[in-house]
Amino acid sequence: MLPHKASAGVKIAGYDVPKGANIIVNVWALARDPEVWEDPLAFRPERFLRENIDIKGADFRVLPFGAGRRVCPGAQLGINLVASMLGHMLHHFSWSLPEGTRPEDVEMMETPGLVTFMATPLKAVATPRLDKEELYRRVPSEM
Ligand code: HEM
């Protein structure tokens, strides 16, 4: 989450947080807490199919958009854009690894920071799966 100033002095988990202190919530650690997540470092997105987890600030186990008064106001737009972008990428291209790279060689670890990047950039080969005419055809929208 972005840094915020404490508007009042408060005690949290035995720690004194003075008024005016700069607070940054470590959402990276929250989302990898082994007491909450089974095998937290394993890339297993299907774990989210098992239960309906709110990602817009109501469930503190995962807070990609923050929470509370300063929660991201663009959360729903962000979710819609990511779904649309992924859908387009999968619809238009077949995805494969570069020749000679095995799936088990792909390093999924990220680097920490304000914005998270992959520690080792992912190399993927996109092959158009629709013929060009279909791919670039403009579909006029009904007005
Ligand atoms: C997947 C995409 C996005 C992610 C992961 C994301 C994440 C975040 C996070 C973590 C915060 C900080 C919340 C906090 O400090 O508690 C934030 C704040 C904010 N986001 Fe987003 N965001 C996304 C997309 C967008 C979009 C599309 C917009 C606008 C169109 C937007 C506008 C803002 C604004 C204005 C704030 C500051 C809110 C405030 O401080 O009161 N975000 N976002």
72 assigned ligand-binding residue: yes
In one-letter notation, the amino acid at residue 4 is H
pTM for the whole structure = 0.84
Tens of pLDDT along 59-76? 999 999 999 989 999 999
Do residues 31 and 52 touch, judged by C-beta distance below 8 A?
no
H helices of the chain, in order, are: 27-30, 47-50, 75-92, 132-135
End-to-end CA separation in angstroms for the chain: 41
- Most informative mutation of 72, 77, 79, 80 for ligand 1 (most atoms within 8 A of CB): 72
The answer to ipTM > 0.95 is: yes
Provide the pLDDT for residue 120: 94
Tens of pLDDT along 3-20? 899 999 999 989 999 999
With 90 as the cut, is the pLDDT of residue 143 above it? no
Q: Give the Cα separation of 108 and 120 in Å (integer).
A: 7
Tens of pLDDT along 85-109? 999 999 989 999 999 999 999 998 8
Look at ligand 1, atom 7, and give the residue with the nearest C-alpha: 65
Bridge partner list, 23: 4
